[in-house]
Each structure stands twice: as structure tokens, then as C-alpha cells.
Amino acid sequence: MKYIYTFSLSVMKGVLLVLMFSIGTAKAQFPPVYTDQMIAAASVDQMKRVYLTPQRIVWTSGDSLVQNADELLKKGEGQAYFGRQTVCRITNKNGSVSGLILDFGKEIQGGVRIMTSQSNRVTRKVRLRFGESVSETCSDVIGDGTTGTEGGATNHHAMRDFEITLPGYGNIEVGNTGFRFLRIDLAEPDAMVAIKEVKAIAVYRDIPYVGSFKSSDDTLNKIWETGAYTVHLCMQDYLWDGIKRDRMVWGGDMHPEVMTINSVFGYNEVVPETLDFLREHTPLPAFMNGIPSYSMWWIIMQHDWYMYQGDLEYLSGQKDYLTALLDQLTTYVAENGEENLRGRMFRFLDWPSVRDTAAIHAGIQALMVLTFEKGSFLCSELNEPDKAEIFHRLAEKMKRVTPDPNNSNQAGALLAMAGILNPEMVEKEIIMPKGADGYTSFFGYYMLQAQALAGNYQDALNNIRQFWGGMLKLGATTFWEEFNLEEAENAAPIDDIVPQDMLDYHYSTGANCYIGLRRSLCHGWSAGPTPWLSENVLGIKILEPGCKKIKVEPHLGDLQWAEGTFPTPKGVVYVKHTKKKNGKIVSEIKAPEGVEIVGQ
């Protein structure tokens, strides 16, 4: 059965963009003049392109140098023509460099189309600066991909700062990056350029938002939607980490994205294609991205994808590599059950814990337990009972080792998830004393999972409101690679020029590999609250592969009600939970044929 949904993406400043999504990708039609050889060598773009009008003029050089800027806020015709017309004119004189900054209302992946008018009969050179924040459009430095340049500004992975020549009386399309803001400066002295239209070109997969979440808390609703949109933008040729910097496939970073896709979009080919990309580019005994833990996350993702989608044929195609990788990991377990991934390997959990060797050891111990447990289940499904037993016994042996998490949220969360440490102890002694200040964009998802295992859903909801809600307060329309609540206390919103007495958050903060403007403000690993809210507030837990059996166990905390939909291979599950005055929760559940629902 096919479902068609209209998904409204609420845009900042009250602007609403309504996009129609439908399942299925039409077969590419090639012109008859193309030869069979040309067609065989062709690649078909699966993306949709939408031209968006700017929603706001953030800044100009002044009325005398930039005239009629508001003309760029009109929809326009998308076609140059002869005749008198009012257009935006940018003028340089007496050594000035004039320009303006446009706000397209919401972060997008793509580029821009600039159209000049009849008044502009000669070519003109302009400088374009794309920005995920207004601050980024004002950086004067074109970085070389390192973090040592001013503010971290960079053209690394995607060009965000460059000059182009506009055609006389025509249009040009340029750019392929993540941005919300665009600065245009006239780059020629004592000159004028007449611009008729500027459109952002949003490039995205044309797919329905099958999953949904609504509750009595608008902040949580917005957080769920923002996480879903963040991952949607990262679903490009492959499943990327970010759409500005880090347009790469990272084996560990993908896990929160895959869980978001499971909860929002259901099956999408970008997941198996990206998992296969990692496998094909990592011949054993190498580890994915050069990081052992990322090969473990690959196994965990194979398990979670199979549980949600139930595609045994796809899983069977992974059998040889999967079992060989599990066999390889067994060689890194010491006789006493302790992980022994030593040597020149990059031992990594999350960037904030990258220098904490004790926490990394504890976290990898837990991650290996999870890997062997899930790998054992997959081997059973693949009719490999002997291997399933070997990996199960090894997981149980490793569980008896209890490494010190060194008060690390990252390590503590994984140890709780693996059943090595008591979740209540981890939540009470490690996670809660720090509160939302101890959360990170990537591992915040697993910290939430640990709090859920401890039964503290209320504080988990509060941490979501504080941490991810803190990004929304600063003007985020997608979630960020890194965020720090303490640094954000005196920070200005990212959607305007920063006042002198306030902190420029994007420019002046950050650490490790995401310092300053180099930091991505649309990073898929930060979307953890979206699947977490579906799983724990709506209460949808998958018990059998392909969602054949689902347990519905809602946890509303201080919410009065919550409702939503959830995609399964058999169709859409609908739930609505309402809290009565006596605290009892009454649930309405609708499930398609072939999906068994069990209660608490």
C-alpha cells in the first residue's frame, strides 16, 4: 500500500513552506538521441530541487549603495525579460565594497540561482559567502580545511566562500553546501550590478514523513521535527554526517541517523546503500573509518535495521563479511574477558571523551558486549547456530568485567545499555549530577537511553528541553555537531548580526574537530531525541524483526497527552496516549494487519 502525506515544515519568522511528498522514485526517462552506451554510463539523480525565495533581508551596506533590496523577497517569474522593471542594485563607489545578506528561513542543502536584469548588460564579479549562521557569512577568511584559520572558517568538504562572474542579463546556478544565509558582495571597484532574483536551490529526497510526534509540549514537538529534518537533509547521495562540513560516511555517527530514519521515514534505500559503501571500502582486517568502534556500530546498525525492516534477503547478503568481522573482534578479547583493542588503533567513543583513556576503555568494553549480543542474534537469524552460541558466550563473559567509567557520561551510558552496570546507579551517580550540561550532540542519544533504562523519563525529557531546546533558542532550524549549554548563556542568536556585548556562538566556541565556524550546524548524529521520543514517550518498542510484534509502553512524564504515527513494513501504526486526572494513561492504538501489538 502506498501512503501520501503532506508535511509542513515550519520556517522561522512565521513563513510556511509546504512540500508534497510521495513514495516511489520514477524510472529515469532518457531522450531518444542518447546512445545505449551513454545511458549505461549515466547516474540518475534521486533528489528533488525546489527554488526558494528569500524570507528576509538581514543586512545591507546602506540604502545609497544597495537599492530595492526588498525586490529580492518577491517570488518573481524565474525568467529574465526585456522592459522596464524595478530590481535590486548594488553599487561600489569611492573604494566601497557593498553587499547584502539574505535569510532563506530554514537551513537547506543545495546552492543558489542568481538572475541579472536588463539593466545589467555586462558581466560582473561577485563574492558569495554561504552561512549556516549570519556570522559565517561575515567571515573574511577562506580556510584551507584546518581549524587554525580565523573563526575556523573553511571551504573544507563544500565551497562556502568564493567569487563568481554573473552573466550580463541572464542567470547562473552555483553552490553545493549546507546553508540558511547568503551574503552577496560586488567584487569590482566603482561598478554596479542589477539583480532581478536570487533563489536558494533546496536539494532533498522526495520522501514522506510517515512517522510523526505531537504532544502537549510544543518544545518537544519542535525538537522531534527538527531532528527529523536534520537527518532528512543528510540523506543525500549517501547518508552523510553533515551537509556543510563532514559530507562523509562515518560508521558510528550514522547510528542515531539510522534510528531516526526507522522512526520517521521507514525503509529508505540510503541506509543499506551506505552500509554497503562502508563494507566495500573496508576490506578486513581494516576497521571502518580506521576506528574499531565504528565497525562495531556497523554490526549494531545491521541488527537494528533488520529488526525494524525485517529484510532477511539484505541481511543474508552481509553474512560473509558480518561473521568474519565478528570473528576478527573475538581476537581482541583477553582471556579474562577484557577488551584488548590496543596498539596503533584510534580508540574512540565521542570527541569530548577522546582524551579520557579510562572512559574509552570502559565504553569499548560495553560496545563490544552490545556488538556480540546483537551479532549473536543475527547469526541465529542467518542459520549459524554455532557462531551465535560462541558470540553469546563471549558477550556474557565480557559482562563480568566491570571497568571504571571514570565519571564519564559516554562510558556510563554504554555500560548501562550493555547490562554491565546498574542503570539506576549510572543515572544517579554519573548522568544526573551534570544534568543537561553533561550531554553531547552525538552521545546524548545514549545518555537518554540510559536514563530510560533507569526509569527516569521525566529528567530525560527535561534534559531534551534544555540541551536540544537550547539550540532552538539560538535560532537553530537543524541540530548542531556540537553544543555547550554553559557557553550558550550569553550567546546571541545565529540568525542576526551579533551585538558587541554578546557572544558570537558559532565563531567563538567549539573544541576538538569542530572549532568555530568550521563546526557543522546540521549534523545527523545530533538527532537522537527524535527516535527516543517515538520509542519512549509514544512507547513503541520492536520485539520481532520487521515490526511483526510491537510493545506499546508509553511514558508521558509531565505531558498530558502524546500521539503519533510509526512506519512499519506492514503499514503505519497510530497511537494516542491521554493522561487522566488520576494519573492513569488511556491509549488508543491502531495497527495494520500483520503487526501484533502487546501491552505493558
Which tens digits make up the pLDDT trace of 359-383? 999 999 999 999 999 999 999 999 9
Q: Which of 33-37, 97-101, 344-348 has the highest mean pLDDT?
A: 97-101
Residues 6+ apart with CB under 8 A from 191: 91, 92, 124
Q: How far, rounded to the nearest angstrom, does the alpha carbon of residue 175 sit from its chain's CA centroid?
A: 20
Interval 144-155 mean pLDDT: 63
With a cut of 90, say whether residue 462 has pLDDT above it.
yes
Closest residue by Cα to residue 409 from 352, 459, 462, 452? 352
Per-residue pLDDT, 27: 59
Mean pLDDT (the chain) is: 92
Per-residue pLDDT, 23: 32
With a cut of 80, say whether residue 9 has pLDDT above it.
no
Interval 154-163 mean pLDDT: 90
Give the position of cell 542543502.
109
Phi, psi of 479 (to 5 degrees): -90, 155
Distance CA 466, CA 223 (A): 11
Q: How far, rounded to the nearest angstrom, does the alpha carbon of residue 299 sit from its chain's CA centroid?
A: 20
Q: Peptide bond preceding 285: is omega within 30 degrees of 0, i.e. cis?
A: yes
Interval 136-162 mean pLDDT: 75
Q: For the structural domain made of 50-205, what CATH number should be given?
A: 2.60.120.260
Amino acid at 358: A
Residues 6+ apart with CB under 8 A from 351: 440, 442, 482, 511, 512, 513, 514
Q: Where are the domains of the chain?
A: 50-205, 245-477
With a cut of 90, say whether residue 404 has pLDDT above it.
yes
With a cut of 70, say whether residue 147 has pLDDT above it.
no
- Strand ranges across the sheet with 561-568: 212-215, 561-568, 571-579, 585-590
Helices of type H across 343-421? 357-381, 385-399, 409-417
Per-residue pLDDT, 14: 34
Q: Classify strands 99-116 and 212-215 as parallel, antiparallel or unpaired.
A: unpaired
Q: Which class does domain 245-477 fall in?
A: mainly alpha
With a cut of 50, say whether residue 145 has pLDDT above it.
no
Interval 285-302 mean pLDDT: 98
Please write the tens of the pLDDT for every residue from 117-135. Answer: 877 778 999 999 999 999 9
Interval 385-401 mean pLDDT: 98
